[in-house]
Amino acid sequence: SIRSQMALIAVLLMGMGVILYLADRFGRRERTVESISVFEGFLVGCAQALALIPGVSRSGATITAGLMLGFTREAAARFSFLLSAPITLGATLWTFRHLVTSPPAGEQLLVMATGVLTSGVVGYLSIAFLLRYLRTHSVNLFLWYRLALGLLVLAVWWFRG
């Protein structure tokens, strides 16, 4: 149950925030995406699998791995978002297969199209903002966010126990 996992989620939220901070603080932050090797791409891809654990963010894990490998903040984030493309495409195709057998009615189609378009625009703008932000800022904001959210989850777990 989610209740039994809340403490783990809280600890991982905070712990991964600290690891992200340490990777940013002590990583060389010199390399660009173009310099990544196949093996390093494999390592960052493996870090992505950590997101299967509740409390671990896919993008946080891959950006952390990129920073640990010496990439700039922007390069680590850019590669992280590139890694999300295959799984996003796969999930989209998986979902759309249902539309072939059971197409939505007129208004449903409009609602879906609006949602997809809005999601795409907001996603693109969010990624653009994050890449621009990471060019000139550290990941401290994400550390504080993960610490605060982890403490909130711990408090809910503790007081609802």
**Helices and strands, counts by H and E, the chain:** 6, 0
- pTM, entire model: 0.88
Rounded distance between C-alpha atoms, residue 14 and residue 28, angstroms? 23
Element spanning 117, H or E: helix 106-136
Mind listing the pLDDT tens digit for each residue in 8-55? 999 999 999 999 999 999 999 999 999 999 999 999 999 999 999 999
Domain boundaries, the chain: 2-159
